Each structure stands twice: as structure tokens, then as C-alpha cells.
Structure 1
Amino acid sequence: MKTFTQFSFIALLLFSINSFGQTDTTQLIKDWQRAKAYTLEYLETMPESGYALKPTPDMCSFAEQMLHLTDGNYGLAAATLGQKNPIERGASEKSTDKSKANTIKMVMAGYDFIIQGIKKMNPSQYGENIKMFGDREMTRLTALNKCFEHQTHHRGQTTVYIRLAGTKPPQEKLF
């Protein structure tokens, strides 16, 4: 019995070591879909009048923060996925239509771009090294994680905007 237990432990350990560091594409897609849904909750929670809200004059408006998030999603994902960016750099933020409806449409399209790109990737590409920002070398998976971090950061910043608009931000969405 002791030998079987030791064998089971060793087998479990080897399985864990073999699995460690591997990326589950399905989970990666689910995480991005969750981020998209969570961001949509933020966008829907903010009243139309709050889209022009700037906490201080030198800060971006709520719409501009969300559109910056979108420009990052497109730019970082295009570089990571090895695809052409379907929009001009900074085009979302430069949009003259920063209405609630148009901002939601543009932000959701940015998430769709990333999700569709990940679906097209072969998991063997995750470990490939690429250059980002000119000279920073990292794996495609690391770059995807940087993109995820960027959108999380800017969505989180907009929590204050929503509170300043007199509204309660959406509940945290970790799962």
C-alpha cells in the first residue's frame, strides 16, 4: 500500500509539473469574455451624462478612459497576435462621437478583436518571443497578459468616475 501511495504521489507530482506553465486556451478566452462582460457592466452603469465627466480638468473623461482601454486592446493585441491593427493608432480616443451608445459599440468591438484573435492562435505560439514597444522582448502569452493588465487598470480607474456620477460601480467579477 505504501508503494502505491508513493507511486500515486509521484504520478500526481509529475502531472502537475508537466501541466505547470501550460496555457489553457479555453480559460484564456473565458477570462477575456469575462473582462468584456465586466467592462460592459461598467459602460452600462455610467449614465449618459457621465460619459463626459472628468474628475479634474486635466484628466480624461469616462468615455476617453474607456476608449483608451480600447486603443490599448487593439494595439497590444494586434502586436501580440501578429495581426494588422484594424484601426489607426489612437483612433478610438480621437473619435468625435463619445456618446454612451458609440463608446459601448467601440469598446465591445475591441474585445471581440482580441477574443477572435486568441481563438485563431495555436497554443504553441504562446511561448514565441516577440518584441513589444520597440525593444522589449517577451513571449506572446506575456504580451497577452500585459494587454489584460492594461484593460483591467483603466477599467478600475473608471470606478471613481462612476462614484462621482452618483452611481454604484458593478460588483467585482473574478469568476
Structure 2
Amino acid sequence: MKKILLLTGFLIFSCKNPSTLDSKIQKESPNYTVSCDLVYDYERAKQFTFKYLDAMPEEYYSFKPTPEILSFREEAIHLGLVNYRYAAMIAGSYDASNEKEIMSREELQSKKDVVKWVSESYEVMINQIKLEDDLSAGTYYYRWSCSKECLARKGFEHQSHHRGKFAIYLRLKGIKPPFEQLIFQDGDRAPKDIEDKNWRETNNFKKYKKIVD
């Protein structure tokens, strides 16, 4: 337990203090190949979400693991609806649409229509982020004050949460979920900034190994 706490502290310190990175890594990697850009990440998330939606056969879109929770179709609609709502709040507005009414709409019963709904929700969010001149500007998260960037990141967390739930629905139908896509968009996998052999020679790696060992 002591070693786990030490490791956690070390990792937090390293994340908060870029100066702890070896100068060798900094020299070899002046331009980061892992993006932390909101637009890029939402586009990546859209690709990842589609893989889940596509993996579930249409006949199982109404599947509920237990009676009291949403069906796969309803989970997908909810994910999309909240994308729309967060985009509206970033714009300084509010989406007060009725979720139950939306889920009952005839045009949102088929797999094709649900996928289209979710796709458009991501596009609305991505376009809203692109439209903003200053994401640090203030707005409201329901009745709490926050920045527009904060809203975008809360929205990203929300869609990640619900996409993660899709895996259980798929597993219960004997379907293997898509492989994780945490870093790159499709086709964008970049070469590593430092080779494994060189990484093991850095002080960062030696400190990490010492703590873990």
C-alpha cells in the first residue's frame, strides 16, 4: 500500500511539473504527437462511439440488461441528447427538450436513425467548439457558473461514461466490444517519440521502476 501511495504521488507530481521530464525526452519530442485538443478528441470520440453503435445488431437495440435501465437504443439517444444540451449551454443557451418524448419519436426507433442522431449531435458539439473565440469565457452549467471549456470537457466525460456502458450490453449478447481508442483518430497513429530502449535509460523510467519494484 505504501508503494502504491508513493507511486500515485510521483505520478501526480510528474503530471503537474513538466520540468520533471528528462531533458533528453524534451529534446527528442519538441512537438507532442498525442493531442489534447478538444476538437480532435471529440472527433476521435465520435469514431469510437460509432464502432459501438455499429457492433450492436439492430435486433438488439431494444435490449435491456435489467428492466429498470435504459435500452441500448435509449442509451445512445441519451448520449446524443446531452451532446446537444452541452453544445447549447456552451453557446449561452439551454436545451429544455423532453427526453422521454424524444425517445418515443417514430423517427428514432431504427438503428440507422439512432446512428444519424448521435452523429449529428457530435457534429453540433464540434462545430460549437470551433465557433467559440474564447473557451475560457464564462457561461452556465445548468445553475452553476463555469467556463465554456469546462462545459465541453464535462460533455466529453459524459459521452465517455455512456459509451463505456455500451460494452456491457454487447458482452451480454456475446459480442466483443471495439478495442479502445484513447489516443488517436483512425489512421493517425504516430511513431513513438522515444524508443523503448532509450526510455528505459531515462531517470523517469528508473524512478518509476524503483517505486514499483
Q: Normalised by the shorter chain, which TM-score bucket?
A: 0.7 to 0.9
What is the TM-score normalised by the length of structure 1?
0.78
**Which residues of structure 1 form unaligned runs of 5+?**
1-8, 10-24
Question: 2: CA distance between counterparts of 1:171 and 1:103?
Answer: 22
Question: 2: CA distance between counterparts of 1:166 and 1:98?
Answer: 23
Alpha-carbon RMSD across the aligned residues, in angstroms, is 2.1
Amino acid in the other structure paired with 2:109:
K
Question: 2: CA distance between counterparts of 1:139 and 1:84?
Answer: 15
Q: Does 1:50 align with 2:50?
A: no
Counterpart in the other structure of 1:114: 125
Counterpart in the other structure of 1:18: none
**Which residues of structure 2 form unaligned runs of 5+?**
1-18, 20-34, 184-213
Q: Does 1:158 align with 2:186?
A: no
Structure 1 position 84, deviation (Å): 6.6
Counterpart in the other structure of 2:145: 137
Question: 2: CA distance between counterparts of 1:47 and 1:126?
Answer: 39
Deviations 1:14-53 (A, max 9, x none): xxxxxxxxxxx99211100000000000000011111000
Structure 1 position 81, deviation (Å): 2.5
Amino acid in the other structure paired with 1:57:
P
What is the TM-score normalised by the length of structure 2?
0.64
Counterpart in the other structure of 1:173: 181
How many residues are aligned here?
148
Structure 1 position 93, deviation (Å): 2.7
Counterpart in the other structure of 1:126: 135
Q: Could you tell me whether the CA contact under 8 Å between 1:71 and 1:93 is conserved in 2?
A: no
Following TM superposition, where does structure 1 have runs of at least 4 consecutive aligned residues deviating by more than 6 angstroms? Answer: none
Report SS of the residue matched to 1:130: strand
Amino acid in the other structure paired with 2:111:
K
Amino acid in the other structure paired with 2:54:
E
Report SS of the residue matched to 1:138: strand
Question: 1: CA distance between counterparts of 2:102 and 2:119?
Answer: 12
Q: Could you tell me whether the CA contact under 8 Å between 1:130 and 1:139 is conserved in 2?
A: yes
Kindly tell me: are residues 120 and 89 of structure 1, through their superposed partners in 2, closer, same or farther at Cα, counting changes over 3 Å? farther
| Higher helix residue share | 1
Question: 1: CA distance between counterparts of 2:167 and 2:128?
Answer: 28
Deviations 1:98-125 (A, max 9, x none): 2111110111010011111111111xx2
Q: Could you tell me whether the CA contact under 8 Å between 2:61 and 2:72 is conserved in 1?
A: yes
Counterpart in the other structure of 1:147: 155
Kindly tell me: are residues 83 and 116 of structure 1, through their superposed partners in 2, closer, same or farther at Cα, counting changes over 3 Å? farther
Structure label with greater radius of gyration? 2
Amino acid in the other structure paired with 1:171:
F
Percent of aligned pairs sharing the same letter: 35
Kindly tell me: are residues 72 and 161 of structure 1, through their superposed partners in 2, closer, same or farther at Cα, counting changes over 3 Å? same
Q: Does 1:59 align with 2:75?
A: no
Q: Does 1:99 align with 2:110?
A: yes
Kindly tell me: are residues 128 and 33 of structure 1, through their superposed partners in 2, closer, same or farther at Cα, counting changes over 3 Å? same
Question: 2: CA distance between counterparts of 1:32 and 1:102?
Answer: 21
